[in-house]
Amino acid sequence: MAKSRTARRKKKLSKGKVIFLVVLVLVIVAALVALWYFRPDVLESVIAMFTQNDQSDKDTIGNGGQADNPYVTGDTLQMTVLDIGQGDCIYIAFPDGKNMMMDIGSEFGSTSPWNHVNEFLHAKNVTQIDYLFITHGDYDHIRDAKKLLDNYEIKSLYMPLDKAQYRNTWLNLLEAAKEETYTSEDGKTVDAEYNNNVGTYTISGENWEMKCYAFDENNYPDCSTESKADAEKVNSVSPICLLEYADRTIVLTGDANEMTEEYVLAKGYLDNIDTDILKVGHHGSKSSTTQAFLDKIDAEFAIISTNGTREVPGSYEHPTKELLARLDGYTDAVPDADYNGFRQIYITGSDGDITVTIGANGGINITASEASDKNYGEVQVAAVITDGETLYAICIKRGAYVIQE
The pLDDT tens digits of the residues spanning 341-388 come to 999 999 999 999 999 999 999 999 999 999 999 999 866 555 656 666
pLDDT value of position 393:
56
Q: Which residues contact 72 (CB under 8 A, 6 or more apart)?
A: 357, 358, 359, 361, 363, 364, 365, 377, 379, 380
Class for the domain spanning 76-374? alpha beta
What digits encode the pLDDT tens for the residues 305-325?
999 999 999 999 999 999 999
What digits encode the pLDDT tens for the residues 232-284?
899 999 999 999 999 999 999 999 999 999 999 999 999 999 999 999 999 99
Which of 366, 370, 364, 284 has its CA nearest to residue 327?
Answer: 284
Whether the pLDDT of residue 67 is over 50: the answer is no
DSSP E strands in 24-147: the ranges are 76-81, 89-93, 99-104, 128-133
Of 316 and 164, the structure prediction assigns the larger pLDDT to 316
Lowest mean pLDDT among 82-91, 338-347, 353-362, 394-403: 394-403
pLDDT value of position 83:
98
Residues 313, 29: Cα–Cα separation, whole Å: 44
Neighbours of 182 (CB within 10 A): 18
- State the pLDDT confidence band at 20, using cuts at 50, 70 and 90: low
Lowest mean pLDDT among 114-118, 166-170, 321-325, 354-358: 166-170
Of 76 and 57, the structure prediction assigns the larger pLDDT to 76
Residues 389, 287: Cα–Cα separation, whole Å: 59
Half-sphere exposure of 53 (CA within 13 A, CB side): 20
pLDDT value of position 222:
86
| Predicted TM-score of the model (pTM) | 0.80
β-pair partners for 245:
208, 248
Whether the pLDDT of residue 327 is over 80: the answer is yes
> Residue 209 to residues 135, 341, 405: CA-CA distances in angstroms?
17, 26, 37
pLDDT value of position 305:
98
pLDDT value of position 335:
82
Q: Where are the domains of the chain?
A: 5-69+379-404, 76-374
Whether the pLDDT of residue 180 is over 90: the answer is yes
pLDDT value of position 64:
32
Whether the pLDDT of residue 24 is over 70: the answer is no
Which of 138, 105, 159 has its CA nearest to residue 231?
Answer: 138
pLDDT value of position 163:
83
Could you give phi then psi for residue 397, rounded to 5 degrees? -130, 120
Residues 283, 306: Cα–Cα separation, whole Å: 5
What digits encode the pLDDT tens for the residues 124-150?
999 999 999 999 999 999 999 999 999
3-state helix, strand, coil in the chain (%, to 5): 35, 25, 40
- The whole-angstrom distance between residue 135's C-alpha and the CA centroid of its chain comes to 16
What type of residue is 398? Answer: R
pLDDT value of position 17:
61
Whether the pLDDT of residue 31 is over 70: the answer is no
3-class SS at 73?
coil
Q: Which residues contact 126 (CB under 8 A, 6 or more apart)?
A: 99, 152
Whether the pLDDT of residue 162 is over 90: the answer is no
Q: What is the mean pLDDT of the chain?
A: 84
Q: Which residues contact 315 (CB under 8 A, 6 or more apart)?
A: 86, 107, 306, 307, 308
